[in-house]
């Protein structure tokens, strides 16, 4: 028996075993991408009678794809910098990445003015690209966790992140999540091993800025990271913080200036950031409670006719209109603050129920809610989420006393994702990036339980870190 334990030790703690874990994760990610493309990359007919591509047909994917087509058209017309289209509605970066891949895979059709089709876009190579970036970022995370903590924790964390289905599924999607996950992993790697190095702090700022270009939700990272800087550096936090802010400032300056060239107005926030509270919290969640109507009726009565952006020709007019909506929504939340709090609490459990098959079902049914209403699947989501959170809780209890600063940061950035997810109509997808940060607690929880196991599983891991 001892001999078997030693063999297990040799393989589990062999110096480069983490590379095998990462390669295995990457391999299965590519396989899943191939499966999705072979199965769903075709025209499907919806109940409405509209035909859509199974991969691109979902709302956000089709929006990114349409924006990518605008970028390509502007490139062909030599009007890329000053063209008013596409408008800056959600992700500044993601549609540009799609456009780059479109150009790379179909350059002759694009520059010979041939008609572009969805089938021309090489989805598989894009999915592989996303996966490659993600799994390379895991290697960097492993190196930093091992340096600061130990080899065991690092192995558990990257194994979790390599295969956790809520994260894994997005590598085979045209949504902005996968690349956003990768950016968060690299940022987290830097923060775990935070030092006074000027270049590293500058790079953290650059990465946070790029994360914001990919997903607007990263806008408030700055208010979560600066307190962490103070906890780490104490009285000497000023200099590294300045370089961190300088990195963000450069990215935001480029973003604002690019918008100025298009619209003659300098701005950095996407338009959808002004509509989230009104559209998804006030109308979808609060109004049904206040006026005792269904969610669908609330949308028909208070959204579709009253907030039609097609009434405005210029992007700046749309932005000003949405700012008024945002202010109006905040006033309504304050006016019904007690009811708003109760609605928030009521919908919290929906947000916490993770959705590990969301992408697969969205491809199959085009509307993920179709299968999510299944009682069996709901039970599966609850059991899976509860088990995961239980390990995270155990890990947090075991981890935070000796690692208060990073635990403080992880707790509040996870809380941030949770709050935004509830406000965004109890959208589980918004919560998913928190699993990257919570992976440290999960790894600590698994490690703790293995060492406290009655059959003394500590023997299995009796190796140097």
**Who wins on pLDDT, 171 or 10?**
171
Domain-embedded: residue 25: no
- Give the bridge partners for 51, in sequence order: 45
CA dist., res. 144 & res. 125, Å (int): 29
Residues 215-268: tens digit of each pLDDT: 999 999 999 999 999 999 988 889 999 999 999 999 999 999 999 988 889 999
How far apart CA 159 and CA 168 sit, in angstroms, is 12
- The verdict on 254 and 286 lying in the same domain is no
Report the 10 Å Cβ neighbour count for 8: 15
Residues above pLDDT 70, as percent of the chain: 85
Q: What is the pLDDT of residue 57?
A: 67
The confidence score (pLDDT) of residue 240 equals: 94
- Among 262, 291, 314, the domain boundary falls at 262
Select from 205, 233, 262 the last residue of a domain.
262
> pLDDT confidence of 14, banded at 50, 70, 90?
low
- Across residues 3-8, what is the average pLDDT? 50
Rounded Cα gap, residues 380 and 461, in angstroms: 32
State the pLDDT at residue 88: 86
Could you tell me if residue 45 is inside a domain? no
Q: Is the pLDDT of residue 193 over 70?
A: yes
Average pLDDT score, the chain: 85
77 and 108 in a single domain? The answer is: yes
Q: Which of 119, 146, 168 is at the close of a domain? A: 119
Q: Are residues 256 and 277 part of one domain?
A: no
| Domain total in the chain | 3
User: Is residue 199 one of the residues assigned to a domain?
Assistant: yes
Instruction: Note the pLDDT of residue 186.
Output: 97
Q: For 77-86, 291-300, 327-336, which range has the lowest pLDDT when averaged over its residues?
A: 77-86
Tell me how far apart the alpha carbons of residues 263 and 83 are, in angstroms, rounded to a whole number: 8
Residues 331 and 276 in one domain: yes
Q: Examine residue 52 and state whether it is found in any structural domain, yes or no.
A: no
User: Is pLDDT larger for residue 75 or for residue 134?
Assistant: 134
Angle made by CA atoms 375, 381, 385, in degrees to the nearest 5: 150
Domain-embedded: residue 412: no
pLDDT band of residue 297 (cuts 50, 70, 90) is confident
Q: How confident is the model at residue 369 (pLDDT cuts 50, 70, 90)?
A: very low
Long-range Cβ contact pairs of 299-303 (< 8 A, separation 24 or more): 303/279
Is the pLDDT score of 461 beyond 50? no
Decide if 390 is inside a domain. Answer: no
Least confidently predicted of 195-199, 237-241, 278-282, 374-378: 374-378
CB-CB contact of 128 with 396 (8 Å): no
Q: How does strand 51-53 pair with strand 43-45?
A: antiparallel
Q: Where are the alpha helices (DSSP H) in 264-365?
A: 276, 287-291, 295-299, 315-335, 337-352, 358-365
Contacts of 307 (CB under 8 A, 6+ apart): 275, 278, 279, 325
In this predicted model, what pLDDT tens digit does every residue of 196-213 receive, in sequence order? 899 999 999 999 999 999
Average pLDDT over residues 149-162: 94
The shares of helix, strand and coil residues in the chain, as percent rounded to the nearest 5, are 75, 0, 25
**Tens digits of per-residue pLDDT, 63-99?**
888 888 888 887 777 776 667 778 888 899 999 999 8
Looking at the structure, tell me whether residues 203 and 229 fall in a common domain.
yes
What lies within 8 Å, CB to CB, of 213 at 6+ separation is: 91, 92, 93, 251, 255
Per the DSSP assignment, residues forming a β-bridge with 43 are 53
Q: Which domain holds residue 328?
A: 271-335
Q: With 50 as the cut, is the pLDDT of residue 153 above it?
A: yes
Mean pLDDT of 415-423: 95
Residue 226 lies in a domain: yes
Supply the pLDDT for residue 396: 95
74, 101 contact by CB (below 8 A): no
The predicted structure's pLDDT at residue 372? 52
Task: Indicate whether 88 and 112 sit together in one domain.
Answer: yes
Q: Which of 242-246, 299-303, 346-350 has the highest mean pLDDT?
A: 242-246
Q: Is residue 87 assigned to a domain?
A: yes
pLDDT band at 454 (very low <50, low <70, confident <90, very high): very low
């Amino acid at each position: 028996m001892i001999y078997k334990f030693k063999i297990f030790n040799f393989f589990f703690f062999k110096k480069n075993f983490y590379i095998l874990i990462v390669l295995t994760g990457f391999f299965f990610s590519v396989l899943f991408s191939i499966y999705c493309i072979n199965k769903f990359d075709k025209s499907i007919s919806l109940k409405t009678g509209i035909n859509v591509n199974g991969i691109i047909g979902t709302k956000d994917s089709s929006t990114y794809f349409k924006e990518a087509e605008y970028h390509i058209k502007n490139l062909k017309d030599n009007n890329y910098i000053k063209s008013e289209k596409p408008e800056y509605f959600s992700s500044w970066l993601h549609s540009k990445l799609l456009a780059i891949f479109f150009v790379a895979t179909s350059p002759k059709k694009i520059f010979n003015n041939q008609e572009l089709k969805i089938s021309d876009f090489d989805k598989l190579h894009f999915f592989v690209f996303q996966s490659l970036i993600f799994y390379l970022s895991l290697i960097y995370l492993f190196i930093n966790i091992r340096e600061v903590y130990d080899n065991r924790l690092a192995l558990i964390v990257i194994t979790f992140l390599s295969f956790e289905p809520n994260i894994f599924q997005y590598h085979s999607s045209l949504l902005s999540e996968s690349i956003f996950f990768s950016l968060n992993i690299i940022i987290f790697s830097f923060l775990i091993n935070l030092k006074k190095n000027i270049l590293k702090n500058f790079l953290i700022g650059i990465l946070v800025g790029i994360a914001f270009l990919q997903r607007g939700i990263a806008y408030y990272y700055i208010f979560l990271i600066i307190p962490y800087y103070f906890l780490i550096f104490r009285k000497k936090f000023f200099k590294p913080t300045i370089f961190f802010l300088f990195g963000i400032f450069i990215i935001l300056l480029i973003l604002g200036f690019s918008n100025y060239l298009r619209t003659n107005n300098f701005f950095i926030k996407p338009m959808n950031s002004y509509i989230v509270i009104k559209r998804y919290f006030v109308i979808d969640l609060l109004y049904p409670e206040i006026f005792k109507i269904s969610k669908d009726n609330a949308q028909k009565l208070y959204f579709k006719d009253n907030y039609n952006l097609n009434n405005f020709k210029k992007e700046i007019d749309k932005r000003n209109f949405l700012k008024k909506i945002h202010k109006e929504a905040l006033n309504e939340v304050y006016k019904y603050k007690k009811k708003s709090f109760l609605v928030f609490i009521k919908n919290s459990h929906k947000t916490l129920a993770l959705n590990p098959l969301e992408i697969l079902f969205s491809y199959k049914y085009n509307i993920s809610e179709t299968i999510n209403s299944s009682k069996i699947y709901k039970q599966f989501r609850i059991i899976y989420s509860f088990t995961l959170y239980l390990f995270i809780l155990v890990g947090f209890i075991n981890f935070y006393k000796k690692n208060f600063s990073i635990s403080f940061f992880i707790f509040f950035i996870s809380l941030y994702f949770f709050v935004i997810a509830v406000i965004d109509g109890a959208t589980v997808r918004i919560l998913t990036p928190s699993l990257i940060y919570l992976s440290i607690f999960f790894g600590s929880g698994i490690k703790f339980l293995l060492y406290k196991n009655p059959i003394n599983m500590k023997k299995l891991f009796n190796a140097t870190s």
